[in-house]
Amino acid sequence: MSVYRVVGGNRLQGEIKVEGSKNAVLPILAATVLNKGESIIENVPELNDVITMLRILESLGCRVEYKDQSVWVDASNITSSEMPANLVKQMRSSIILLGSLLGRTGRVVSTYPGGCAIGVRPIDLHLKGLRRLGAKIDMQGQIVCEGETLKGTEIQLDYPSVGATENIMLAAVLAKGTTIIRNAAKEPEIVDLQDFLNSMGAKVYGSGNHIIRIEGVGKLHSTRYSVIPDRIAAGTYMAAAAVTGGTVLLKDVVVEHLHPLIDKFKESGCEIETNCTRLRISAPKQIKAIELVRTLPYPGFPTDAQPQMMAAMCTAQGTSIFVENIFENRYRHVDELTKMGADIKVDGRIAVVKGVRRLNGTTVLAKDLRGGAALVLAGMVAEGTTVIEGVEHIDRGYEELGNKLKSLGADITVI
Ligand code: UD1
């Protein structure tokens, strides 16, 4: 198991290309099984979650190649509808294959998915949606979904769940008739999935708004598609610049996706310039506290950037209040930040962060992906050396976080 050793105190400076989006590429890879042909997907980040998804696709009978950020999937022959339990347990996003595999083969068998332990993370909305499309689902021991002919229908989601919206979209692509999803998630990754599906002949409309319409089609065709940049990775590098008083140019971003973050970083005293696909963030020596960070579905402040923003606020001037509205167990980084000297009080969904003069390096444990990234950021401003264990969580969702921060001047060693 590797660890990060971070020596604090360096101001970040330089430029970095933002990787392709983890949360966009995983459902897109799941979508490739709908197509009895080839998909070429570009701008694919090198992440453990991506490798796990490719292994699952191979176990289903797909031929897969991954080279130079480009993935080739040939899903002409699907030979199995049973998802391998050991891989499914490694990654929550494997649940997205329920919709696509059901759409393609009419049957899926899966164990319950794993992933970050940031909350209960039920899948009731996914299953409710698939049942509305006509699937029969048995939940005894494992999940068995059957539905030879899915039929388009109207589905009102009780909550705009990202995963449930994706699963229903995927199952509806080859269904008979038209499916309408109301109160759908509006995240940019949903729009990217729509664009990918349409690039292979699907008829999906409305993503990015709360109503999505999917007209079922008989078959799909081969495609080549490039994944959107990762807005959460971009936000992490923005937080890294902010916390170290640095200046960083991010290349290959979609500025529109970053507005919920840009607004907060401006409030903290950072200057931000944007130009097409570039964003430059310049931070003062010490940032100011942000009054209120409330996580919400897009276009609200993303829950996936909450831990990194909290790390930045630990040494800001003043007091910040965080309200985590999406996941009930998403403050697992707080104890570790506190070990480093942060002043954070948590009461349920609320965390009050009082900026302190300095953090101190010590050994801390990454317990989940974004919480792990937050500890790396805290280590970059702490006095002395911080050792971060549990780096495997970080590697699930960041492409070489340590080395990229190092290229900007951070003193980080991956051991
Ligand atoms: C996706 C992202 C994750 C991000 C989250 C919210 C991927 C691979 N992961 O996760 O990084 O943090 O969106 O932006 O894209 N819920 C239910 N029942 C369900 C489904 C969800 O109650 O059937 C609840 C969840 O427990 C949670 C909330 O809805 O409280 C949001 O979850 P959801 O939007 O589904 O997130 P994910 O798709 O799991």
Alpha-carbon gap, residue 252 to 185, rounded angstroms = 24
Distance of CA 313 from the midpoint of ligand 1 (Å): 25
Residues paired with residue 248 on neighbouring β-strands, in sequence order: 14, 281
Residue type, 218: G
Q: Which pLDDT value is given to residue 221? A: 96
Domain boundary among 209, 226, 243: 226
Is 127 found in the same domain as 38? yes
Three-state secondary structure string covering 213-227:
EEECCCCCCCEEEEC
Is 193 found in the same domain as 236? no
Ligand 1: list residues with CB < 6 Å: 23, 26, 92-93, 119-126, 159, 161-164, 185, 189, 303-304, 326-327
Domain boundary among 203, 226, 249: 226
Q: Assign residue 54 a region: left if phi > 0, alpha if psi is -120 to 50, beta otherwise? A: alpha
In order of 22, 218, 260, 299, 300, the CA distances from 296 in angstroms are 19, 37, 10, 8, 5
Is 391 found in the same domain as 293? yes
Q: Which pLDDT value is given to residue 192? A: 98
Is 284 found in the same domain as 206? no
Is 355 found in the same domain as 207? no
Name the active-site residue from 116, 145, 270, 314: 116
Is 38 found in the same domain as 169? yes
Domain boundary among 194, 226, 258: 226
Is 89 found in the same domain as 129? yes
pLDDT, averaged per 10 consecutive residues of the chain (415 residues), comes to 93 97 98 97 95 96 97 96 91 91 95 64 91 94 91 97 97 98 98 98 98 97 98 98 98 97 97 96 97 97 98 98 94 97 97 97 96 98 97 92 96 93
Torsion on CA atoms 317, 318, 324, 330, rounded to nearest 10? 60
Q: Which pLDDT value is given to residue 119? A: 55
**Residue 116 is among the residues annotated as catalytic for this protein:** yes
Assigned token pair, 342: 């942060």
Distance of CA 277 from the midpoint of ligand 1 (Å): 28
Q: Which atom of ligand 1 is nearest to the CA of 23?
A: 15
Is 261 found in the same domain as 196? no
- Give the list of residues 6+ apart from residue 130 with CB closer than 8 angstroms, or none: 98, 99, 102, 137, 145, 147, 167, 168, 171
Measured from the Cβ of residue 162, the count of other Cβ atoms closer than 10 Å reads 20
**Alpha helix stretches (DSSP H) within 326-410:** 334-339, 369-381, 391-397, 401-407
Residue type, 1: M
Q: Which pLDDT value is given to residue 116? A: 52
**Domain boundaries, position 327:** 4-19+229-414
Is 41 found in the same domain as 76? yes
Is 52 found in the same domain as 99? yes
DSSP strands (E only) in 3-99: 4-7, 13-17, 38-42, 63-67, 70-74
Closest residue (by CA) to atom 4 of ligand 1? 304
- Give the list of residues 6+ apart from residue 47 with CB closer than 8 angstroms, or none: 22, 395, 396, 397, 398, 399
Is 287 found in the same domain as 201? no
